[in-house]
Amino acid sequence: MLVAGNWKMNMDLTSARQLATAVVSEVGDPGPVQVAVCPPFINLDSTFSVLHGSPIRLGAQNMHDEVWGAFTGEISAPMLRAVGCHYVIVGHSERRRLFGESNEGVNRKIIQAQKHKLVPIVCVGETLEERDAGREVAVVSEQVRASLAGIHNADGSELVVAYEPVWAIGTGRTASPAQAQAMHAIIRRLLVEQFGSDTGADTHILYGGSVKPGSAAELFSKPDVDGGLIGGASLKADEFALIVEAAGEVA
Ligand code: PEP
């Protein structure tokens, strides 16, 4: 089980430190659950100094697919490693939708992340229009296949996939546990096809989209839901800790 908080473009220096401190204390010992928070780039360094020595890992929300050079405003994988990142979110639907990220671009980022020993949390998910048109399986399958083309994943620990239906992100509308499980099973099958049965089974598939303390336990109890990528609820340490606790109960 893995629970990762995506703070998005929230928190300044002071509030990020306060939130990280509260998360460390509220989460305590998460037992078998792996836990991470993903603050904005500017707060990675200071957040790492709070997390250091705790079981909570650091992740970034994005990265560039080149290592360095003339890419004004961008941040690369080795820079993220240098400030203590373990994870990097890649291809979040907000990046795909608002910043034009393609499956091919996501694929390049995953390759570069892995080269620098970062674990990419690769986001996939259909829009409401795509679901209403009955195309959700085709869309998500294509995202998984194209984003992960040629990627390695020796024992399931080099990669995380997050299924985040776009219509459930920040809307308060969560996919039902059955809807989540149905798509996770399809993603699992694709992972098994690409990486073999053991690695496919051991790769975390997270659900994301308006997960709250009240909905987490039932979602996490589904066989192919291995935790959550949490947006809004990760900004409140007590809610985030309850979600981690729910993951611990089913772990
Ligand atoms: C997200 O953006 O990854 C997310 C799941 O957000 P929320 O939990 O707020 O829907």
Assess whether pLDDT exceeds 90 at residue 159: yes
Q: Whose CA is nearest to atom 6 of ligand 1?
A: 231
The single residue listed with the structure tokens 């399809």 is 186
Bridge-partner residues for 3, per DSSP?
35, 228
Ligand 1 binding residues, C-beta < 6 A: 6, 164, 169-170, 208-211, 229-233
Q: Catalytic residues, which ones?
A: 92, 164
- CA-nearest residue, atom 3 of ligand 1: 231
pLDDT-derived band at 184 (thresholds 50, 70, 90) equals very high
202-218 residue pLDDT tens: 999 999 999 999 999 99
Task: Give the atom of ligand 1 at the shortest distance from the alpha carbon of 169.
Answer: 10
What average pLDDT is seen over the chain? Answer: 97
Closest-lying ligand 1 atom to the alpha carbon of residue 168: 10
8 A C-beta contact, residue 160 and residue 120: yes
Average pLDDT over residues 10-36: 98
Residue 28 has pLDDT above 90, yes or no: yes
Atom nearest to 211 CA in ligand 1: 8
Closest residue by Cα to atom 2, ligand 1, is 231
pLDDT of 170:
86
* Number of continuous H segments (helices) and E segments (strands) in the chain: 11, 8
pLDDT digits (tens, 9 = 90+) for 39-72: 999 999 999 999 999 999 999 999 999 999 999 9
User: Does residue 17 have a pLDDT over 90?
Assistant: yes
Mean pLDDT within 152-170 = 94
pLDDT at 172: 87
Residues 6 or more apart whose CB falls under 8 angstroms from that of 146 comprise 103, 104, 106, 107
Quote the pLDDT of residue 13.
Answer: 96
Number of Cβ within a 10 Å radius of residue 48:
17
For 94-143, write each residue's pLDDT tens digit. 999 999 999 999 999 999 999 999 999 999 999 999 999 999 999 999 99
CB atoms within 10 A of CB 209: 28
- Alpha-carbon span 164 to 175, nearest angstrom: 9
CB atoms within 10 A of CB 200: 19
H-assigned helices in 52-176: 77-82, 93-98, 103-115, 128-132, 136-147
Distance 162 CA to ligand 1 centre (A): 11
Map tokens 């697919």 to a residue. Answer: 65
Percentage of residues in the chain having pLDDT higher than 70: 100
pLDDT > 90? residue 251: no
Looking at residues 161-190, what average pLDDT do you find? 95
Question: Which tens digits make up the pLDDT trace of 208-245?
Answer: 999 999 999 999 999 999 999 999 999 999 999 999 99
pTM greater than 0.95 (yes/no)? yes
Q: Is residue 86 scored above 90 in pLDDT?
A: yes
How many Å lie between the centroid of ligand 1 and the Cα of residue 69?
32
Distance 143 CA to ligand 1 centre (A): 19
For the record, the structure tokens of 4 come out as 């990762």
227-230 and 2-6 strand pairing? parallel
- For the chain, the domains span 63-233
Q: How far is the CA of 165 from the centre of ligand 1 (A)?
A: 10
Residue of minimum CA distance from atom 1 in ligand 1: 231
| Strand partners for 60 | 88
Closest residue by Cα to atom 7, ligand 1, is 231
What phi and psi values does residue 92 have, to the nearest 5 degrees?
-55, 145
| CA–CA gap between residue 31 and residue 247 (Å, rounded) | 10
pLDDT digits (tens, 9 = 90+) for 147-156: 999 998 989 9
Say how far apart CA 135 and CA 188 lie, in whole Å. Answer: 18
- In this structure, which topology does domain 63-233 adopt according to CATH? TIM Barrel (3.20.20)
Q: Cβ distance 5 to 238 under 8 Å?
A: no
Q: What is the 3-state secondary structure (H, E, C) of 139-170?
A: HHHHHHHHHCCCCCCCCCCCCEEEECCHHHCC
Distance, CA 70 to ligand 1 centroid (Å)? 32
Structure tokens at 209: 């989209």
